[in-house]
Amino acid sequence: MADEPDPDRLRALEERIAKAHSGRQIKRSGAGKGFSQGEVAWRMVIELVSGMLLGLAIGYGLDWVFGTMPIFLMIFALLGFVAGVKTMLRTAQQLQVSNRDRTADTSAKGD
């Protein structure tokens, strides 16, 4: 037995591998292009909760500084909720536009 591989067999193997790769086209899937419904839902929940928490933190901080405990907390909690809802609606609108563009692209390719 030889310690080194047979160069003729290696050359033949390389030729077979090259022939197998040249005849096959690699087709990419579109799985990573869009977001799943669960990812979109979690994104919207996080946007709403972060708006609320930011409003609560600002309101509590202002109440602590001025010594008026529930007033600013309630005002900024409502403002945080409104900001979170507005951000959620903007995200939904962007996703609707991207879905519309994607369906227009697929229908144009089909024609």
pLDDT of residue 32: 57
pLDDT of residue 24: 67
The percent of residues above 90 in pLDDT, for the chain, comes to 45
The percent of residues above 70 in pLDDT, for the chain, comes to 85
Sign of CA dihedral 96, 100, 106, 110: positive
User: What phi and psi values does residue 87 have, to the nearest 5 degrees?
Assistant: -65, -40
What number is the average pLDDT over the span 34-55?
Answer: 90
Q: Mind listing the pLDDT tens digit for each residue in 45-96?
A: 999 999 999 999 999 999 999 999 899 999 999 999 999 999 999 999 988 8
Which pair of tokens denotes residue 106? 């697929």
